[in-house]
Structure 1
Amino acid sequence: MTGELSDKIDRRLLALLQSNARDSTTTLAKKLGVARTTVHERITRMERNGLIRGYSAVLSRDPFETYVASLLMLIIVKQKQTSIVEQLKRFPEIKLCQAVNGECDILCEVEVPHLEDLEALLIEISEIGGITNARTMIVTALKFDRRMNAAGSQAAVHAAAFSRGEAG
């Protein structure tokens, strides 16, 4: 994080925003027991100092929507990692890209609508200079995911605890 949290109110405010960034400053002020202008000033400060970089909508996946999820393991020429990662950013199908150690150098989580789309994506990625080997594993079932949607619900739990003064 770029910015600093000044105090417990900042931490509680940030937790509330993570839980629901659409709450009005009036609603947030009531939950925190401070003036609306205090909330506005603190949010403005956290945005200005880079602690809050933006706001986004977390979309839920339609359970009837089909897609193919896979893990892409790339072995690369280390000196070309920056260039390779920049080129991988062009592919919206790559949802997560991580540098790792072990059997591969880069591990990507990929989602495509159809299996044929995965093949086309892999062909395009294989043309990136500096990738010496690529392996793919198709995800057959999601057992649990503690990111995004789960993070949103965890943030809600933390925000509720903060608003009750139970954490901090």
Structure 2
Amino acid sequence: MSEPVDTLDALDSRLLLLLADEPRLGVLECSRRLGVARGTVQARMDRLERRGVLRGFPPDVDLAAIGYGLTAFAVLEIAQGRRTEVASRLAAIDEVCEVHATTGEGDLLVRMVARSNADLQRVIDEVVDVQWVRRTSTSIALSTPIPPRVRPLLERVAGGDAGEDVRA
């Protein structure tokens, strides 16, 4: 069975790992470290950007260091058929960092940050006030033993093990 079009190869993964470690590296330095031509690196980066794999080079900001030390997750039940509208309104709340459409008990999973418990209450009140939000259940994160990551997946592909094909 052939690989899907969107599968990364080892060079793509090594390039992404290099950029994850040092996002300010230029194309020439990446090509030197990877041992490939500059044009190859540029073509790979362009292709990864077109496919939406490489979405930019934002800085990795520690939210606690800028005053948002409290993270919470809310499961929202919303009016049927209103996911787009609710998500749009949630995006207008600065402290809402992520929203995922989910299966199960709720419809949306929202990650939000706040400066304090009182500030979290304000943020939750804003979320609850969004039209078509029917019910929420919020949990405060006490710690983050595993932060968001992609490195293990990139390392697996870079090492030549893309995992088993589970589509069989």
In structure 2, the partner of 1:167 is 160
1:25 aligns with 2:27: yes
TM-score with structure 2 setting the length: 0.73
Q: Which amino acid aligns with 2:148?
A: R
The 1:41–1:73 alpha-carbon spacing in structure 2 relative to 1, beyond 3 Å, is closer
Structure 2 equivalent of residue 147 of structure 1: 148
Q: Could you tell me which residue of structure 2 aligns to residue 121 of structure 1?
A: 123
Aligned to 1:74: 76
Q: 2:56 aligns with which of 51, 54, 57?
A: 54
Change (3 A) 1:48 1:97: closer
The residue type equivalent to 2:120 in the other structure is L
Q: Deviations over 1:119-147 (max 9, x none)?
A: 222222222221111222233x2151241
Structure 2 unmatched runs, 5+: 162-168
Alpha carbons 2:93, 2:126 under 8 Å: kept: no
Going from structure 1 to structure 2, the CA distance change for 1:64 and 1:92 (only over 3 Å counts) comes to closer
**Cα displacement (A) at 1:8:** 4.2
Aligned length: 157
> CA 1:103 to 1:69, structure 2 compared with 1: closer, same or farther past 3 Å?
same
Greater relative CO (CA pairs within 8 A, separation 6+) = 1
- Partner SS, residue 81 of structure 2: helix
